[in-house]
Amino acid sequence: MSGLGSPVAMLKAMLARVPLILKTALLHGMHLSPVSGKQDLRTELTVAIIRSFITMTLPVSKQQKGSMRDPGIKGPMWVSKVTLPQPEDDVQEAVIKAIEDLKVGDETYNIPGVGPVEAEWTGHRNGVGKNAPQPDVSEEEKYARLRKETPSDAVILYFHGGAYFLMDPCTHRQQVAHLSKRTGMPVLSVRYRLAPQHPFPAALVDALVAYLSLLAPPAGALHAAVPANKIVLAGDSAGGNLSLVLLQTLLTLQRIAPTVRFHGRDVPIALPAGVATSSPWCDITRSMPSVVDNAVYDYLAPPTQRYESGAKFRAPNLPDDAVWPRDPPRVDFYAHASACIHPLVSPLAGRREIWKDAPPVFMTVGEEGLADEGLVLARKMHQAGVPVVVEQFEGMPHCFGLIMIGTPAGRRFWDGWARFCREAVAGQVTASGALTYLGFKLRSTRDVPLDEAVSLTDEEVDRRLRESAQWRLEGELHLQQQFAKAKL
């Protein structure tokens, strides 16, 4: 969608899709659609249109720029922009300790450095229309007014989605403000560093800086210290991944290095009240069956390459620019191939014991490509004794609740997400050990034991992950050999 910066461009793009819209509506009305009985017309049109806009043919820098276009700040939201100051290198060292502790082989990764982290305090603004501008006052005054309307002592720390290389807090303001409205809590939405310029673990370092900044605010911060048991980590898609791997990092640090030097203080590592995710990306390799089996319901296309083909894994074939390919080259935007199934890259790959003593976790998925990985991870957590609240919506695409807020399924999604956040900070989460499966149009609800929610065995999951990781590693080594020869 990188070329849709003006109303005229958007109108032209939509006019070009009129045949697609008419075809989709006709097939749906004749009950000839492959998703009949699982998606209503609005959902099917939404999926078809988004799918038609998603392109991987533009240079990465253009994709990034298009996905991060700032829509401005207006309507029923408060946004106060802040910069969390750069702390000591101890934060990066803590992340590296966690990475090394959880290694299972010869994973390699970049040393990202530590820097300041930009973020947006976001809250619901009462009594204004949808086009009302923000007052022309300082960021400090905006924060003060936000807190006056959102006086909760709890905070949601939010990480946006976008496959770790797209989007920004500005693209998620409407959803984050809605989350604040539904929970009554202010939200700190983090502008973490994006791949491929900043691969793993740069985003994780930034996430830990943001979390520690809530626990122990540096001098000049707008906010007061927030106790860990009043913080909920939240995110969608890649942001759900980041929420989960931040939790894994905290669990690991509690065990091996329970304090971190942060702006001149030794800050104890404490766990948040909970983690709330929407369609979390738990397997960077995308090697579970649902990425193909559920593609008909989703706007995220299945991988164009499959391990079973026998061909070498290739890097995305995109026009060169200053951002991609990298030097030395990689086959994945986010991580070295050797690290693609490290637990802090793909949380699905971690041992269930990693999750022992974790706080409650909420997970919502649709009937989408990422469903298997989310449900298997939820099963692992449950088996480790973690209170897990899991909901799956029949026929719904990736992150449906964020893109279709006003639909019945969207409203039900927000009911569950917000309820979990409120109950987590109150210490009142009740987990049944079952998946709540919500049928088409919410006409039915049934509980499925988490141990039975997905048919994949742990052994099959591990085999798929290992084979996919080895395939990527061999492809990356071949690519680097070609690159080295070309430089001779």
Contact 209, 114 (CB under 8 A): yes
Q: Which two tokens stand for residue 16?
A: 């070009």
Question: What is the Cα 82 distance to its own chain's centre?
Answer: 21
Q: What pLDDT score does 310 carry?
A: 80
Residue spans of the chain under pLDDT 70 = 1-6, 55-56
Residues of the chain with CATH 3.40.50.1820: 77-286+343-452
Q: What pLDDT score does 56 carry?
A: 66
| Cα 109 to Cα 382: distance, rounded to the nearest angstrom | 30
pLDDT in tens, 217-271: 999 999 999 999 999 999 999 999 999 999 999 999 999 999 999 999 999 999 9
Tell me the helices (H) and strands (E) count for the chain, helix number first.
14, 12
Q: How would you classify residue 300: left for phi > 0, otherwise alpha for psi between -120 and 50, otherwise beta? A: beta
| Phi, psi at 232, each rounded to 5° | -115, 125
- Specify the residue for token string 């009911």: 415
Residue (of 326, 439, 311, 424) closest to 38 by Cα position: 439
Q: What is the DSSP letter of 301?
A: P
Contact 243, 275 (CB under 8 A): yes
Residues with Cβ within 8 Å of 457's Cβ and at least 6 positions away in sequence, in order, are: none
Contact 271, 252 (CB under 8 A): no
Give ∠ CA 24-25-30 in degrees, rounded to 5.
100
How far lies 138's CA from each of 82, 120, 166, 171, in Å?
A: 11, 14, 29, 22
Residue (of 384, 396, 368) closest to 451 by Cα position: 384
Enumerate the H helices of 130-257 as residue ranges: 139-149, 173-183, 202-215, 238-256
Residue (of 337, 248, 245) closest to 285 by Cα position: 337
Residues with Cβ within 8 Å of 371's Cβ and at least 6 positions away in sequence, in order, are: 290, 294, 365, 392, 454
How far lies 76's CA from each of 70, 101, 186, 470, in Å?
A: 17, 45, 14, 49
Q: What pLDDT score does 1 carry?
A: 47
Q: What pLDDT score does 8 carry?
A: 76
| Cα 315 to Cα 311: distance, rounded to the nearest angstrom | 12
Residue (of 369, 371, 367, 373) closest to 348 by Cα position: 373
Q: How would you classify residue 127: left for phi > 0, otherwise alpha for psi between -120 and 50, otherwise beta? A: left
Enumerate the H helices of 341-385 as residue ranges: 371-383
Q: What pLDDT score does 49 carry?
A: 94
Question: What is the Cα 477 distance to its own chain's centre?
Answer: 29
| Cα 59 to Cα 377: distance, rounded to the nearest angstrom | 33
Enumerate long-range contacts of 418-421, CB under 8 Å, 24 or more apart: 418/179, 418/182, 418/183, 420/274, 420/276, 420/360, 420/362, 420/389, 421/154, 421/156, 421/179, 421/183, 421/185, 421/232, 421/234, 421/274, 421/276, 421/362
Q: What pLDDT score does 57 carry?
A: 82
Provide the 10 A C-beta neighbour count for residue 183. Answer: 26
| Cα 315 to Cα 476: distance, rounded to the nearest angstrom | 8
Q: Which CATH class is domain 77-286+343-452?
A: alpha beta
| Cα 304 to Cα 83: distance, rounded to the nearest angstrom | 39
- Transcribe 426-481 into DSSP letters: TT-----SEEEEEPGGG--EEEEEGGGS----HHHHHHHHHHHHHHHHHHHHHHHH
How far lies 332's CA from each of 57, 94, 165, 234, 301, in Å?
A: 16, 25, 11, 25, 17
pLDDT in tens, 441-455: 999 999 999 999 999
| Cα 482 to Cα 362: distance, rounded to the nearest angstrom | 44
